Amino acid sequence: MQSGIHRAIGNTIPRGWCHQVKNDIVLNYEISCEKQLANISELVSIQANCTLRLGTLYTNAGFGMNATLGVINSPFSGGKGSGRFQLYIYSQPLLNVIGYDATLQGGIFDRNSPYTIPSRCISRFTAQHNYGAVLQTRKLYFEYSRTAITREFEYGKSSKWGGVKIGVRL
């Protein structure tokens, strides 16, 4: 499936799961905060956010902004209008400070992964931009998202990916 998608979009064909970082124990703690800076008539919303992760998978910190434009049900409005129709676009630029990333460096306990990036080659600062569009009704949720990130290690390239989320409220 993964190789078929890469062929269809003209991307580099993955070399297989045998080259992935091996499984390891994941114990992580994450704390995040978000502060609304502006809300204009439930049509425009701007928030500042920060996240701190500490553990065996990631040790990093992220700082950024989130802006939404459209028909918004702001989570900062005290729950009024919950489940209401929403249609908006969003943009979220982030700056990240990287301490440890097991997805690149391998696990802390299982050091037998065939391909890992040495600590000295990890980019300690990355910039990331998440953006997309959301449509939500009382019962359905649709989201199209894209992410772009600067290179995560010395000899790597910047990366882009995207996704589609579909949800149903029961």
Residue pLDDT, tens place only, 41-53: 889 999 999 999 9
Confidence band, pLDDT 50/70/90 cuts, at residue 66? very high
Closest CA to 92 of 58, 47, 37: 47
With a cut of 70, say whether residue 78 has pLDDT above it. no
Q: How far apart are CA 130 and CA 156, in angstroms?
A: 20
Q: Are 49 and 68 in contact (CB under 8 A)?
A: no
Query: Quick check: 161 and 147 in contact, CB under 8 A?
Result: yes
- Its pTM stands at 0.82
**Mean pLDDT across the chain, nearest whole number?**
91
Domains of the chain, earliest start first: 2-74+82-168 (2.40.128.140)
Rounded Cα gap, residues 122 and 47, in angstroms: 29
For 12-39, the pLDDT digits (tens) are 887 767 777 888 899 999 999 999 999 9
